[in-house]
Structure 1
Amino acid sequence: MGIASRAAAENPAHVRQLLQTRQCPNCDLRGANLMDTNLFKANLAGANLEGAYLAGVNLFGANLQNANLSRASFYLAILVNADLSGAQLVGTRLTLSNLVNANLAGANLENAVLKGANMIDVNLSGANLKGADLDRANLSGANLSQTLFDESRQP
């Protein structure tokens, strides 16, 4: 998908930079439409992707440390081996996404939707999952030490 067909983001120059280099730490990508984009091993540490549309995106091995992904949509996204430690994922939709071996240590996933997500061997140490929808999520082998859950929703 070409740049011209992308939905308007808060900072189109940052979208172009990301698509051309896969390097955009601390970038403002609020509201960007990155559907089906290949961002294999991209560096988005500290980036603001609030409300971004990331359905089908490939973020295999990507660095999303401390990124703001609140209210973003990741339907069927690939986040295998991605580093999302300390990321803000409040109200984020990760339905049917693949997060195998992802690092979500200290991430805030409050009210996130993780329906059917593949989260085998994910690190959720110290993460906040209060209000998160984990229906049919596979958490086999996940590190859940010091993870915060609603008492009625613990896996």
Structure 2
Amino acid sequence: MKLQLLAAIALATPLFFANSVQAGNNKDLQQLLNTRECINCNLSGVNLSGAHLIGADLRGANLQGANLTNANLEGADLTGANLKGANLTSAFVTNVNLKRANLNGANLTRATINDSNVYQASMNDLTITDAEIFNTGIGIGGDSAEIPDWK
């Protein structure tokens, strides 16, 4: 009985998020929610708070000013994405490809960032208060650190 209830909740959860998400470009947003793929999409300013975007393909997507609070981005590909001013407070950013992404002014307060690729990403004015960062080239100060690229 408990297993059936958990299965029903798991199936209904994406429907809840689909109704609570708002954006200027509904076509791109629906594509992301239906397929988890939205290459070069315009998702600027969208509310994806709490969204499960595990393994999403968001290469080159415009997520400027997006609300990704509590979002799960595990394994997502955000190569070349624009996350300028995005709110990633308490987001789960593990095994995420952020190569050449624009993270300028992004808020990563209390985010969990593990094993993610930030090679050639722009990271000016990041907020990383209380973030848990492991095996990812994000830190405080200095231009001399070498950030490895995924091979």
TM-score higher than 0.5: yes
2:19 matched to which residue of 1?
4
Correspondent of 2:116 among 88, 102, 106: 102
Q: Which has the larger radius of gyration?
A: 2
1:135 matched to which residue of 2?
none
**1:78 Cα deviation from its structure 2 partner:** 0.7
Once the two structures are aligned, what percentage of the paired residues are identical?
A: 35
Letter in 2 for 1:27: C
1:145 matched to which residue of 2?
146
Runs of 4+ in 1 over 6 A off after TM superposition: none
Correspondent of 1:18 among 28, 32, 47: 32
CA deviation digits over 1:67-92, x for unaligned, max 9?
Answer: 00000000110110000010001111
**1:123 Cα deviation from its structure 2 partner:** 3.5
Give the secondary structure class of the aligned counterpart of 1:119. Answer: strand
Moved more, 21-30 or 112-121: 112-121
Distance in 2 (CA, whole Å) between partners of 1:122 and 1:90 is 16
Task: Number of aligned residue pairs: give it.
Answer: 131
Residue 71 in 1 paired to residue 74 in 2?
Answer: no
**TM-score scaled by structure 2?**
0.80
**1:146 Cα deviation from its structure 2 partner:** 6.4
**Residues 38 and 61, structure 2, Cα contact 8 Å, conserved in 1:** yes
1:91 matched to which residue of 2?
105
Q: Hey, which of these two has a bigger chunk of helix by percent?
A: 2
**TM-score scaled by structure 1?**
0.78
Letter in 1 for 2:29: V
1:58 matched to which residue of 2?
72
CA deviation digits over 1:118-137, x for unaligned, max 9?
Answer: 1111135xx9x77xxxxxxx
